[in-house]
A = this chain, B = another copy of it.
Amino acid sequence: MSVGLTIGRYQPFHNGHLSVVKEISERVDEIVVCIGSAQVSHELDDPFTAGERMAMIQRALLENGVEKFFYIMPVEDIQRNAAWVSHVESLTPPFDEVYSHNPLVIRLFREAGYEVHGAPLYRREEHSGTEIRRRMLEGEKWRHLVPKEVAETVEEVDGVDRLRDLAVEDAPT
């Protein structure tokens, strides 16, 4: 049995991420989706909590035809790159393959002896968290870039208002 792991911050989880998970699911028997920087939230580049991201992802995978067995789990940063792979291993079931485009993630898993694949491609320009957060902030359309379940979760937690409140310029102190 093969188990593939992928990791991202998922701020928020979008159609590109979903397409990656679906393509991985055709190559392995089980998938592990790690939510990185889990302890971070309420920042302009990281507005959503780990729990909110978990709800987005689990609902989206269940409703969008990912048929393989999958695990989703938050992974907090540990500020110690050399022990990070062990940290991930301690939080996840055993896995064989890693899918990522992040240079640090790729290098760390390779030094630990894992087979690492570039995550499968998807149309990148719009499908980035940065672009989606920009659209949320500026009042442009963003719902078509994420699974329906993600848009619902963003609404339930008042996500767009949170992002706009955080973007207000501070007075000097």
Contact = CB atoms under 8 A, between A and B. Distances in A.
Interface of A: 8-9, 38-43, 49-52, 54-55, 58, 62, 69, 71, 73-74, 76, 78-83, 85-87, 89-94, 101-104, 106-108, 110-111, 124, 128-131, 156-157, 162, 165-173
Contact of A173 (B43, B85, B129): B129
B165 A106 contact: yes
Given A74-B74, A82-B86, A38 B173 contact: no
Sorted nearest first, the 3 A-B pairs with minimum C-beta distance are A82-B90, A128-B172, A42-B81
Contacts of A166: 103-104, 107
Given A82-B86, A103-B167, A93 B50 contact: no
A8 B82 contact: no
A171 B128 CA distance: 9
A40 to B, nearest CB: 7
17 contacts: A9-B173, A39-B79, A39-B80, A40-B81, A42-B107, A49-B89, A49-B90, A51-B90, A82-B86, A83-B86, A86-B86, A101-B173, A103-B165, A103-B169, A107-B162, A124-B172, A130-B172
A71 B58 contact: yes
A23 to B, nearest CB: 15
B83 A78 contact: yes
B51 A93 contact: yes
A38 B52 CA distance: 19
